[in-house]
Amino acid sequence: MTTELTPSTVDADIASTDVLLFVSTNGAHPIQAIAQDPETVAKRIEQRIIDADSPAALFGTDQVMHAQDYLGQPFQLLKAEWRPSDQGGLPFYAVLTICTTDGEVFPMTTGARTVMLKVAKADQAGWLPMTDWLRIVKSDKPTEAGNYPLDIEAAPAPGSDSF
């Protein structure tokens, strides 16, 4: 599979539709290599401060959770963004905005193929934000390379008998 990126574009977005097309065409659909303009990034940070709707949003840490470190914990999926990756595998990874059972909102990153495909489909279909509860799970069986694939699945609602 080819993971060639198209020429750089400053502050373009990788859309969920691009993710699905890239995978369904076995890499034939181009993914843009994105170069971040420092001024644009600064403006985005300033806008996040201006748009803060609570003290937690304004003063909260920029904590980023990795999906493999949040196994089995229920969350609601609010938003998905895509960033270019040079770590092997697919040429992008997901930055998911999630809400925990405590009401905390923070980003969770993953490069897990199945998780990204399911999230891209949900986003492309207009199902985000989701009010249903989800969780990240790890396969019991390793791949031939010795990795334990991650998946995303429905989770019982907090407070339910099966939770």
Q: What is the pLDDT of residue 7?
A: 45
In a domain, 161, yes or no: no
Is the model's pLDDT at 162 over the cut of 70? Answer: no
Mean pLDDT, the chain, rounded, equals 85
In a domain, 159, yes or no: no
Q: Model confidence over 144-158: pLDDT tens digits?
A: 888 899 999 999 998
Q: Are 67 and 108 in contact (CB under 8 A)?
A: yes
In a domain, 72, yes or no: yes
In a domain, 50, yes or no: yes
Phi, psi of 21 (to 5 degrees): -65, -40
Q: Model confidence over 68-103: pLDDT tens digits?
A: 999 999 999 999 999 888 887 888 999 999 999 998
3-state SS track over the chain: CCCCEEEEEECCCCCHHHHHHHHHCCCCCCEEEEECCHHHHHHHHHHHHHCCCCHHHHHCCCCCEEHHHCECCCEEEEEEEEEECCCCCCCEEEEEEEEECCCCEEEEEECCHHHHHHHHHHHHCCCCCCCCCEEEEECCCCCCCCCCCEEEEECCCCCCCCC
pTM: 0.77
Q: What is the pLDDT of residue 49?
A: 86
The whole domain housing 14 covers 5-154
Is the model's pLDDT at 130 over the cut of 90? Answer: yes
In a domain, 60, yes or no: yes
- Total domains in the chain come to 1
Q: What share of the chain has pLDDT > 70, as a percent?
A: 84
In a domain, 162, yes or no: no
Closest by CA to 37, choosing from 6, 10, 13, is 10
In a domain, 61, yes or no: yes
**Is the model more confident about 133 or about 105?**
133
